Amino acid sequence: MRVLLTGGAGFIGKHVHHQLVAEGHEVTVLDSFRPDVHAHKPAPGPGLIVGDIRDADCVAEALRGIDTVIHLAAKVGLGVHLDDIDDYVSTNSLGTAVVLKALAHANIRHLVYASSMVVYGEGRYDCDVHGQVAPGPRRTEDLDAGRFEPPCPYCGSPLHPGLVTEDAVLDPRNTYAATKLNGEHLAATWARETDSRVTALRFHNVYGPGMPRNTPYAGVAAIFRSALERGETPRVFEDGSQRRDFVHVGDVAAAVTTAASALPHQPAFTAYNVGSGTVQTIGDLATELAHLYNGPSPIVTGQYRLGDVRHITASSDRLKANLGWKPAYDLTTGLRTC
């Protein structure tokens, strides 16, 4: 394949680039080198275009000779501050729209879109009385009182968290999540109108070598690791029992390239969860990292961020069954590569 990889200089992008090259594909990277992510902006060179996905002329030039696009470029993070809402919408929604318009004009019909598990909002919950239910947004007064688990919206009983499938109702609960879902909708519309193929990959909590450090983009694994490297105690929010799926960036890169190669045989729009398949808690992650770095044991602070969800873990069975992908790393093995 001749691939345009947007956001190819980022954390995930570098690993996807390496995987594509290892598989023998020709790759062109388009990256803006945002100053809030990258310390330096290199000069353009063979295989590297330094430019913004919102620049239509730049994207059109980048698409020359390309037959498949992997669209990773985005502003990431929680998106809980309204001061950032225009930047999220401009970069993620408008940027994706510009890319899709350019694809249509260039008659390119294959796209892998980097989505996120945040499009689900809270994960799956079951009530003993009412079955599967969707809890409402968590209330500040409950969080302040240390009541972190969302109750059944009908009877107030405790809920049992489970695994989300791709057919679940989508309920983004912060700005970043809203823009990633908007990108899915735009891509699905593009696919229908142009008889194209798009696969949206809903990444779970990605970690691994090259995790961003001390930036607004750092995930919880990177935050804990940075604290330990400074000799500080990892600080775990809420009670540490938040359920997540931590997936190694190498497994994510393999999922991306597998999806890209399978595009000609896929429906117009397909979404796949990309996770390790193993449920961990935030506390588990902090403890594992502290042990790995011979650092102090984590402390549970009871603090919270209103934009966080309590539990979100999903089944990746559809990706395994349809494309033959499977993760190669468990959490302990994966953290040793960081």
The H or E element containing residue 317 is: helix 317-323
- Tell me the C-alpha to C-alpha distance, in Å, between residue 214 and each of 39, 81, 173, 222, 281: 12, 18, 24, 8, 22
* β pairing state of 243-244 and 280-281: antiparallel
Residue ranges of the domains in the chain? 2-121+164-208+246-276+314-330
Kindly state the DSSP code that residue 47 receives in the 8-state scheme: T
Q: CA torsion sign, 127 to 129 to 131 to 137? A: negative
Q: pTM of the full predicted structure?
A: 0.94
**Is-contact 275 313, C-beta < 8 A?**
yes
Q: What is the reported pLDDT for 173?
A: 86
Q: Count H helices, E strands: the chain? A: 11, 17
Q: What is the reported pLDDT for 216?
A: 54
Q: What is the reported pLDDT for 55?
A: 98
Give the CA radius of gyration of the chain.
Answer: 20
For the chain, residues with pLDDT lower than 50 are: none
Q: Compute the half-sphere exposure of residue 201: CA atoms within 13 Å on the CB side of its CA.
A: 31
Class of 2-121+164-208+246-276+314-330 in CATH: alpha beta
Q: CA torsion sign, 10 to 16 to 22 to 25? A: negative
Q: What is the reported pLDDT for 243?
A: 96
Q: Compute the half-sphere exposure of residue 33: CA atoms within 13 Å on the CB side of its CA.
A: 12
* β pairing state of 124-127 and 159-164: antiparallel
Q: CA torsion sign, 258 to 261 to 267 to 271? A: positive
- 11-22 vs 249-262: helix crossing angle, rounded to 10: 60
**Is-contact 8 17, C-beta < 8 A?**
yes
Rounded to 5 degrees, φ, ψ at 225 are -60, -45
